[in-house]
Amino acid sequence: MDLNTLWFILIGVLYIGFFVLEGFDLGVGVLLPFLGKDEIRRRVIINTIGPHWDGNEVWLLTAGGATFAAFPSWYATLFSGFYFPLFLILIALIVRGVAFEFRSKHDDPNWRKLWDWCIFFGSAVPALLFGVAFANFVRGVPIDQEMIYVGGFWNLLNPFALLGGLVSLCGFILHGAVFLSLKTTDELLKSAQSAARRMWLPTLVVLSGFIVATYLSTDVLKRLGVNPGVIPIGAALSLLAAGYFIYARRSGWAFFLTTLAIVFAGATIFLELYPRVLVSSLDPNYSLTIYNASSSPYTLKVMTIVALVFVPIIIVYQTLVYRFFRFRLTKDDVSEGAEGY
């Protein structure tokens, strides 16, 4: 395995890790106005992700930084061609982060309601647009022989990409509902379980439709073979199995299987891309690959050494954080004067 392939795999792992961890964060944010019927419930919901949301976003920052350093042409083409949707994602994540910190600074209900809706939109917009972006990666976008994106904004909003956005939005909401069923008690627990049951079937339907559309609209059969089964179909099978545990109210297994579905879906995208990183819809020869878009071998070597030192530290730190905050939250944990959001 050469360093170009190694860094493609590492970037794929970083993005998939972000979708798994930030996925339930975004899902919880979308569910906030609907499950948070009163201030206490809203505080419980927010505090379930309070210790994690900013740490989970580190995976996106690391993935973006690794893309810039390892494959600068990929980064340049991506951030020029996808400028507006990526700008919207950035603004949404900034507003969301500000909302988490500002909502508890004033007791006025209207003040807190404003920031709660900022959390909702700051979660829903990235959840939708990440799916749109990655669907376009595999479908292909207009890239010329100079590695320059020559399409417009509306090229990105094709039916296939919008379906991919629905998959990520519904999947993250389901993932967040199952996470809440692991972290809450009493009425909120029942509401989270009910939300998971309501979201399961729509998520399975849009995911299944997207898998069919992927076979029809991309070269997945050529890339993964006539019977790629275990990878793209594995996402649907994992989600199908998750439904059993959601209805059986076994939230631990349900969360494991929604996580597995996201891992399979992300793995499908990167396996279908390899060795490409961005597919050109104008000419396959114009596609960006891990070779024509990469940094020098020396740069990749130095980055590999740095990653071997710091990536394990990040993983150990986040593991400890999740272990320390693994307990369920109750209303007493967020009573007036208690620490939290």
Q: Which pair of tokens denotes residue 45?
A: 């919901």
Domain count, the chain: 1
Mean pLDDT of 256-261: 95
Amino acid, single-letter form, for residue 92: A
How many CB atoms lie under 10 A from the CB of residue 72?
14
Is 334 among the domain residues? no
Count of residues making up the chain? 341
Flag whether pLDDT at 341 surpasses 80: no
Residue 56, in any domain of the structure: yes
Q: Is residue 230 part of a domain?
A: yes
Question: Among residues 261, 171, 163, 258, which one has the least CA distance to residue 215?
Answer: 163
Q: Quick one: what percent of the chain has pLDDT higher than 70? A: 94
Residue 136: the pLDDT is 92
Kindly report, residue by residue over 305-318, the tens digit of the pLDDT.
Answer: 988 888 888 889 88
Report the percent of the chain where pLDDT is more than 90: 60
Judge whether 76 lies within some domain.
yes
| Dihedral over alpha carbons 254, 260, 262, 265 (to 10 degrees) | -140
Give CB contacts under 8 A, 24+ apart, made by 279-283: 279/137, 279/138, 279/139, 279/140, 279/141, 280/140, 280/141, 280/142, 280/143, 280/144, 281/139, 281/140, 281/141, 281/142, 281/143, 282/142, 282/143, 282/144, 282/150, 283/145
341 domain residue, yes or no: no
Predicted confidence at residue 152, as pLDDT, reads: 82
* Mean pLDDT, the chain, integer: 89
Q: Could you tell me if residue 338 is inside a domain? A: no
CB contact set of 234 (below 8 Å; sequence gap of 6+): 260, 264
pLDDT for the residue 71:
95
pLDDT band, residue 227 (cuts 50/70/90): very low
> How far is the C-alpha of 192 from the C-alpha of 212, rounded, in Å?
30
Q: Per residue in 53-64, pLDDT tens?
A: 888 888 999 999
Q: Is the pLDDT of residue 196 over 50?
A: yes
Tell me whether residue 90 is in a domain: yes
30 near 2, Cβ under 8 Å? no
Residue 51 is given by DSSP the state T
The answer to whether the beta carbons of residues 153 and 198 sit under 8 Å apart is no
The residue segments making up the domain with residue 164 are 3-329
Condensed to tens digits (0 to 9), the pLDDT of residues 127-180 reads: 999 999 999 988 889 999 888 888 888 888 899 999 999 999 999 999 999 999
Which long-range CB contacts under 8 A does 309-314 form with residues at least 24 apart? Answer: 311/10, 314/58, 314/62
Instruction: Give the helix, strand, coil percentages of the chain, each rounded to 5.
Output: 80, 5, 20
- Please compute the mean of the pLDDT values over residues 194-211 and round it to a whole number: 94
- pLDDT class of 204 with cuts at 50, 70, 90: very high
Residues 6+ apart with CB under 8 A from 148: 77, 80
Is 255 inside any structural domain? yes
DSSP secondary structure code for residue 140 in this structure: -
Angle (CA) 171 196 198, round 5°: 95
Nearest to 339 by CA among 322, 323, 325, 318: 325
Confidence check: pLDDT of 228 > 60: no
**Cβ contacts of 40 within 8 Å, gap of 6 or more:** 331, 334, 335
